[in-house]
Amino acid sequence: MNRMLPGTRALRTFEAAGRHLNFTRAADEVGLTPAAVSYQIKEIEDQLGLVLFTRTSRSIQLTPAGAVVFEAAVQALETLQRAVGRARRMARGAQQLRVSLSPRFATNWLLPRLSQFRAANPTVELTFDISDEVRDFDADDVDIAIRFGSGRYARMRSERLFEAVIAPVCSPKLNAAGARPKTPRDLAGQTLCHVECTTEGMLWPNWRMWMAAAGIDDFDDSRCVAFTDTSHVVEAVIDGGAVGLVDLAMIRNEVSEGRLVQLFDIGVSVAEDYAYHLVYPENSGQDPRVLAFCDWMQGEMTSTQRPLALPAS
């Protein structure tokens, strides 16, 4: 019977092809060429004695038999991935706590404070999964995550840390050149950049939204530059002399080192109740490692949070 079933690698290729219904996109995902994906699918079909896809010059579609095998492949791969995640959690020992968080949060908030956590919790060893992707706790071997959003996640506990306050920053070079804007309307003469993204369907604050909060309703945002990542905005501000809208909590290093300067005491948030949260499975609520990390994080919030004037809603 085992000789009749494809191996795990072949199943991953088939699953990707069935999900994308496109051999080229499947090839990009699994690290093969489109021709290699097509050949591997043909091998699976020959091995099973089934036609899994109908092929035309422009598209591929799952056959009824292919749809049945595709559903089973998805379930099998997910089951195996979750089992491997649980096995890894068992193998890494009871002292390790694996934290999932974004690169920006790691670099600009958590890692500079890591020595303080270790001093306060010498028996807990932190390891990290640094990614902007939302992780599956079982499948991806994660104990706790720091996520930005509403904090409402099925079968998860969520503890609010702080909201994202978006405000303009500039380079100290603008001060030296005497070009620092005196009022929000003065920003119209600067190169303005921001992050263009959505979180759980909510649009991240842009310049039109910030200007409205500053009382300017006739702002023309047609010349604003949009980036997909905060790091690109920070780079444009520091190296290119732009003025950028950024999450203030994520640039504390740059501000403390004098590489960025906050402009105006006006900030906007993504949406009501949206904030950074500690997220962990409900059944981990009594895990001493999780409790230690949550207590320390909340203590840091109390000692380091600096309020910013927000416009009235």
pLDDT 10s digits, 249-286: 888 888 888 899 999 989 998 887 889 999 999 888 78
pLDDT given at position 178: 67
CA-CA-CA-CA torsion for 300, 304, 306, 307, nearest 10 degrees? 30
Of 17-31, 36-50, 167-181, 249-263, the one with minimum mean pLDDT is 167-181
Q: Residue 310 above 50 pLDDT?
A: no
Kindly report, residue by residue over 56-75, the tens digit of the pLDDT: 877 899 999 999 999 999 98
Mean pLDDT of 291-307: 80
In angstroms, the CA 300 to CA 117 distance is 10
> Of all helices (H) and strands (E), which one includes residue 61?
strand 60-62
Q: Which two tokens stand for residue 258?
A: 């004098």
Q: Which two tokens stand for residue 165?
A: 């306050």
Residue among 110, 115, 102 nearest 253 (CA): 110
pLDDT given at position 177: 63
Q: Residue 92 above 70 pLDDT?
A: no
Kindly report, residue by residue over 200-252, the tens digit of the pLDDT: 778 889 999 999 999 999 998 888 999 988 889 999 999 878 999 999 988 88
Phi, psi of 183 (to 5 degrees): -135, 160
Q: Which residue has the higher pLDDT, 1 or 200?
A: 200
pLDDT given at position 304: 61
CA-CA-CA-CA torsion for 269, 274, 276, 281, nearest 10 degrees? 180
pTM (predicted TM-score): 0.68
pLDDT given at position 79: 83
Whether the CA torsion 254, 258, 262, 265 is positive or negative: it is positive
**What percent of the chain clears pLDDT 90, i.e. is strictly above it?**
45
The length of the chain, given as a count of residues: 313
Q: Which two tokens stand for residue 202?
A: 């909510």
Q: Which amino acid is at 158?
A: S
159 within 8 A of 198, measured Cβ to Cβ? no
Kindly report, residue by residue over 119-176, the tens digit of the pLDDT: 999 999 999 999 888 888 877 888 999 998 888 888 899 999 998 899 999 988 876 6
User: DSSP assignment, residue 291?
Assistant: H
Whether the CA torsion 269, 270, 272, 275 is positive or negative: it is negative
Summary mean pLDDT of the chain: 86
Q: Residue 308 above 70 pLDDT?
A: no
Predicted confidence band of residue 307 (pLDDT cuts 50, 70, 90): very low
Strand partners, 98: 127
In angstroms, the CA 235 to CA 104 distance is 13
Q: Residue 306 above 60 pLDDT?
A: no
Give the helix ranges, DSSP H, for the chain. 8-20, 23-30, 34-48, 64-91, 103-105, 114-120, 172-176, 207-213, 230-240, 252-256, 288-304
* Residues 6+ away with beta carbon under 8 Å from 159: 277, 278, 279, 294, 297, 298
Q: Residue 6 above 60 pLDDT?
A: yes
91 within 8 A of 83, measured Cβ to Cβ? no
